[in-house]
Structure 1
Amino acid sequence: MSAAKVEGKHIVVTGGASGIGAKTTEVLAARGAKVFFGDRNTEAGNALQEKLTASGYTVEFYPLDVTQSDSVSAFYQAAISKFGQIHVALNNAGVDHTPARMLDVPDEDFHRNIAINLTGVWYCMKQSVKHMVEVGGGHIINLASVAGVSGAPTISAYCASKHGVIGLTKSVAIEYARSNIRVNAVCPSFVKTPMVENVLANFDQKQQNTLISANPMKRLGEVEEIAYAIAWLCSDESSFMTGHSMVLDGGMTA
């Protein structure tokens, strides 16, 4: 079976400088998509752009803070100016918080999770939908989490933000289906990314092993596994899917 086809598609990616975002940017570009990606980490973003353009891929990095509506607007205007029509928008930017029971989670951590994980998606979706209505359609993909489909003790703020992303995904999918705009979410469990490594660092070895073996596959996911699933969603092969939350969790929620 051949890889999902994204050749010639114009795709924007937020949080594209590391983790799932970086690998997805690479996979999409390697398959012929033109990728415009943003991140707050300008050093990592510029380094990734240099690496991928040296490989002959069409990518461009633009500094982005998804918590600021003006920054999101500037990012989208730059993407449209560079590549024209946006076919797919991947809202990947996200943040975690130190695992703790609710009463021990600082309010600042809650507000930070909501600002980046949910409000940031809201800002990006408004820009995406506005553009896609004007050009006759498109596809929005939001990075949620397995923590958005079930309870997740000790990461309540993160869990709340990701449940919000899924609710937003479903609502907007219904609202704009007749405008030829599809909206879906991707819900990974623990994947080998810098963010997950930061979470695991808060636990002793026994606790880490428990988290890693929380699914029937008894391992963490690989960034490539999530990126390949996203690439399929970016292709026209997923054309009848909207309002869906694709869970990639090694069977954790089976």
Structure 2
Amino acid sequence: MTDILNLPASNVTGKRVLITGGASGIGAASALLLASRGAKVVIGDMNEELGASIARQGVDAGNSITFKKVDVTNGDEVRALFHFAMKELGGLDVVINNAGIDHNPKPMHELSDDDFDRSIAVNLKGVWHCMRAAVACMAGSGGGHVINVASIAGLRSAPLLSAYSASKHGVMGLTKSAAHEYARVNIRFNAVCPSFIDTPMVQNTMAKMDERAQKATINASPLRRLGKVEEVSSAIAWLASDESSFMNGHAFTLDGGMLA
């Protein structure tokens, strides 16, 4: 298999980037990759220890990553994060809304109110908080690009993950609507829609499955494997570059062929 990290790198030098959910998984991989290519990055996350660790990794490598704690379900905290990023970076070119949670796989009728409400609060309303804050920062400064990390569960059914799927379908609706609303001020909105990627969240979900379900999850892709965080972060790096300048309102699918 071709080493994707050895392919010509998309140019993100000098890009000012904010990433939520940046302490682990796709968010952390994206932060480290973008910073290594010359972007200036602020990451927000609930996990202070992991967030600070990712920032240190970036700084130790001679790159620019700064961490600030945030709960994306809280509008005031989100606004404070964006204010911090604007002050730290001098503006924002790219916002990557990656913060998200899963829930225990179970039939829809067995989900608790808390399961459903928490999924919507983090995965959907949290993204809306960040999109709204991004527009406030970008509309008067020439525009920018907002990249929402959704899921193929936002494009198709996701048995036993109905609340998660509902939240991700909502993210797709927000993405497409905002892409039309804010094109006039040069703010683009796109979504990345991965399938099962080898992240701590996916591993946590799979740990709650029996062996048969785990195998079915892995084999759902024609490539017969989980995706790698590097494969998603490389796609995000391309989206963050000017090479994606005519893409707007798109669901960028990374699923190994599941929807083919």
From 199, 211, 236, give the equivalent of 1:193: 199
From 66, 71, 81, give the equivalent of 2:77: 71
Partner of residue 103, structure 2: 97
Partner of residue 165, structure 1: 171
Partner of residue 80, structure 1: 86
Matched to 2:181, the amino acid is E
1:39 and 1:232 map into 2 onto residues whose CA distance is 23
Cα drift, residue 171 of structure 1: 0.1
2:8 and 2:222 map into 1 onto residues whose CA distance is 28
Deviation sequence 1:130-173 (CA, Å, 0-9, x none): 11111011000000000000111100000000000000000000
Deviation sequence 1:84-141 (CA, Å, 0-9, x none): 1100000000000000001111110100000000000000001101111110110000
What is the SS of the residue equivalent to 2:99? coil
Q: Does 1:149 align with 2:162?
A: no
Cα drift, residue 201 of structure 1: 0.6
2:66 and 2:138 map into 1 onto residues whose CA distance is 21
Partner of residue 203, structure 1: 209
Query: What RMSD in Å do the two structures reach over aligned CA positions?
Result: 0.7
Q: Which moved more, 1:92-101 or 1:48-57?
A: 48-57
What is the SS of the residue equivalent to 1:65? coil
From 28, 31, 50, give the equivalent of 1:25: 31
1:85 and 1:134 map into 2 onto residues whose CA distance is 11
Identity of aligned residues (%): 54
1:120 and 1:9 map into 2 onto residues whose CA distance is 23
Deviation sequence 1:33-71 (CA, Å, 0-9, x none): 000000000010111111210110111000010000010
From 18, 43, 50, give the equivalent of 2:49: 43
1:80 and 1:102 map into 2 onto residues whose CA distance is 41
Q: Does 1:220 align with 2:260?
A: no
Deviation sequence 1:197-253 (CA, Å, 0-9, x none): 011011122221111010100000000000000000000000000000001000001
Matched to 1:253, the amino acid is L
From 48, 56, 60, give the equivalent of 1:54: 60
Q: How many residues align?
A: 254
What is the SS of the residue equivalent to 1:98? coil
1:83 and 1:152 map into 2 onto residues whose CA distance is 38
Cα drift, residue 183 of structure 1: 0.3
1:203 and 1:123 map into 2 onto residues whose CA distance is 32
Partner of residue 248, structure 1: 254
TM-score of the superposed pair, with normalisation by structure 1: 0.99
Consecutive unaligned residues of structure 1, counting only runs of 5 or more, are none
1:70 and 1:178 map into 2 onto residues whose CA distance is 27
Partner of residue 3, structure 2: none
Partner of residue 136, structure 1: 142
1:249 and 1:219 map into 2 onto residues whose CA distance is 10
1:136 and 1:46 map into 2 onto residues whose CA distance is 31
